[in-house]
Structure 1
Amino acid sequence: MISVRGLEKRYGDVTAVDGVSFEVDAGEVFGLVGPNGAGKTSTLKMLCGLVEPSAGDVTVNGFDAGETEMRRSLGFLPEESPLYDEMSPRGYLRFFADLYDVDREAANERIEAALDRLDLDARDRPVGDFSKGMKRKVAIARSLVNDPDVLVYDEPASGLDPLTTNTVVEFTRELADDGKTIVFSAHDLHHVESVCDRVAIMRDGELAATGTLADIREEHGEVSYRVFTDVPLADSEPAGDRHVTEVESMDDVEALRSEASDGGGEVVDIRTDESTLEDVFLDVTGT
């Protein structure tokens, strides 16, 4: 579990993070999104104990950020994750397992299991010969060698081809299903929408919206209904052999149903149009 309370980070006169608070439960994927300069990276680095907060508290599994025990229970995947190009995936991952004092037998089992789940077969070739997607898979496997309870993934699928992206996103969901606590940050909001249980949108160092996707849509998004009838209505437009009217509430839908009935017809279809996370993001952040 992750607990963040009143987190602040100031760089001189610039406040990068201003009073951010949230919690993430075990088995949950928590999305942290925002435009460039919103404070996401600073928040993630403070969460991982890489940057000291100016104020506030961060605890991971009951340990303060930066404590040795906290680091043992956390796996971090930064947006840019250089590897040792001359090493093979197996050698590279065993090296990091040794840094965490992981038993060699347990390390080998974890490494093979992670590479199996990520569909990475080339395990003894130099990493320098790999594509960007293959290197990203190795970096993800590295975040798992210490079997952490908490994972922080910053742009895990950035710049990858669609097939590899799908593998990474699905793998993230599987990790949560296994009970891992995950903070997931990405610019591609489709990925966030497909994998996250809750989302926090940052703007100017603050949380502008937080909640489930349904909660955020209800508070900040819009819903409209396209009602198709087999007779023309006062405000309808032709749609093939039918007629369509767009309204904003179910009360309006019922009013159209009555209007169609009075005209000797009926409602034959209703389609709901909801704001996507991207729509809400653009509205909340003013971008």
Structure 2
Amino acid sequence: MSVVSVSHIAKRFGKVRAVDDVSFSVEGGEIFGMLGPNGAGKTTSIRIMLDIFKPDRGRVEIFGGPMTEEKKERIGYMPEERGLYQDAPLERVLRYLAALKGLRGAEASRRLKDYMERFDLYAYRRKKVKELSKGMQQKAQIIATIAHHPDLLIVDEPFSGLDPVNTQMVKDLLDELRRGGTAIIMSTHMMHQAEALCDRILLIDHGKVMLYGTLEDIRRPYMGNTLLVRTPVELPALPGVSATRMKNGTWRLTLEGGATPQSVLESLVAERIPVEHF
């Protein structure tokens, strides 16, 4: 049984088609990357999964069935827009958020102390949240998200505001949780982050699925220095790429000057090029 199963979901806001026929599944013990530029439909898809938005059509199953209040306690969600109470001391905020997920008493004290020490925040536990740096607040948000040991963890741009040392700390934590059996969904617009951490990825743009599968499956057709890309629009100049137009909207891309399939994909996503085949 998949931890998350999403089948053909769609969502409109007025004339904007935010999500268009998106399907995927997430298993326990894997990091699943949702990749795409800002506005691609990643966050809307996550909010549909969490029952914050209702889809116009399609179906979502969490832990084998519809979302319930009990299931929500088994989920940790860190949105891109952070939500810590700024005027309260850090430890009090973390205790309050842990209690909302059913974590209280001595066990809450032990876990929060362990995590604050791990992320070098224990000395700042009595500081008001607004007195902490952006990176510290980011680490505090991560603690609040994982302290109750969720079975499903969803993190939206988890490395925002972190320096390289703290970025590695969070990567190590996510890998540790994966090895412990947690299903992790990581939303990011950075290909190298997905490449470094994820077992499978979903590339989404303009609400549509562009790529879906394991990194090995996605890379396999790219071995060598030539790629075929099909797109309905004119390709712009891409760094390290010589492009030749073929027929039916297909382009042959020859990689030069250190360009890689991953860097080409990043460039296409950054330029918001609709890709029908890659």
TM-score, normalising length: structure 1: 0.76
Sequence identity of aligned pairs in percent?
36
Residue 33 of structure 2 corresponds to 31
Q: What is the aligned-residue RMSD (CA, Å)?
A: 2.1
Residue 115 of structure 1 corresponds to 116
Equivalents in 1 of 2:115, 2:59: separation in Å? 32
Residue 197 of structure 2 corresponds to 195
> Do 1:217 and 1:275's aligned partners in 2 also have CA atoms closer than 8 Å?
no
Equivalents in 1 of 2:119, 2:51: separation in Å? 27
Equivalents in 1 of 2:192, 2:161: separation in Å? 14
Cα distance, 1:277 vs structure 2 = 2.9
Equivalents in 2 of 1:123, 1:276: separation in Å? 45
Equivalents in 1 of 2:216, 2:105: separation in Å? 45
Residue 149 of structure 1 corresponds to 151
Residue 97 of structure 1 corresponds to 98
> Do 2:200 and 2:212's aligned partners in 1 also have CA atoms closer than 8 Å?
yes
Residue 45 of structure 2 corresponds to 43
Cα distance, 1:276 vs structure 2 = 4.6
Q: 1:276 to 1:159 in 2, by over 3 A?
A: farther
Equivalents in 1 of 2:14, 2:225: separation in Å? 46
The question of 1:286 aligning with 2:273 is answered: yes
Equivalents in 2 of 1:49, 1:141: separation in Å? 23
1:120-149: CA deviation from partner (whole Å, max 9, x where unpaired): 232222221111111001101111233210
Q: How many residues end up aligned between the 2 structures?
A: 238
Matches within 5 A, 1:1-287: 1-65=3-67, 67-121=68-122, 122-219=124-221, 221-224=222-225, 275-283=260-268, 286=273
Which SS does the other structure have where 1:115 is aligned?
A: helix
TM-score, normalising length: structure 2: 0.79
Report which structure shows greater RCO (CA 8 Å, sep ≥6): 2
* Structure 2 unaligned blocks of 5 or more: 227-257
Equivalents in 2 of 1:274, 1:210: separation in Å? 22
Equivalents in 2 of 1:141, 1:209: separation in Å? 31
Misfit runs of 4+, over 6 Å: none
Equivalents in 2 of 1:189, 1:201: separation in Å? 10
Cα distance, 1:189 vs structure 2 = 2.0
Which SS does the other structure have where 1:64 is aligned?
A: coil
Higher Cα Rg: structure 1 or 2? 1
Equivalents in 2 of 1:12, 1:145: separation in Å? 38
> Do 1:63 and 1:69's aligned partners in 2 also have CA atoms closer than 8 Å?
no
* Structure 1 unaligned blocks of 5 or more: 226-272
> Do 1:27 and 1:182's aligned partners in 2 also have CA atoms closer than 8 Å?
yes
Residue 260 of structure 1 corresponds to none
Equivalents in 2 of 1:3, 1:135: separation in Å? 32
Equivalents in 2 of 1:209, 1:82: separation in Å? 31
1:88-143: CA deviation from partner (whole Å, max 9, x where unpaired): 22211111122233231222222123223333232222221111111001101111
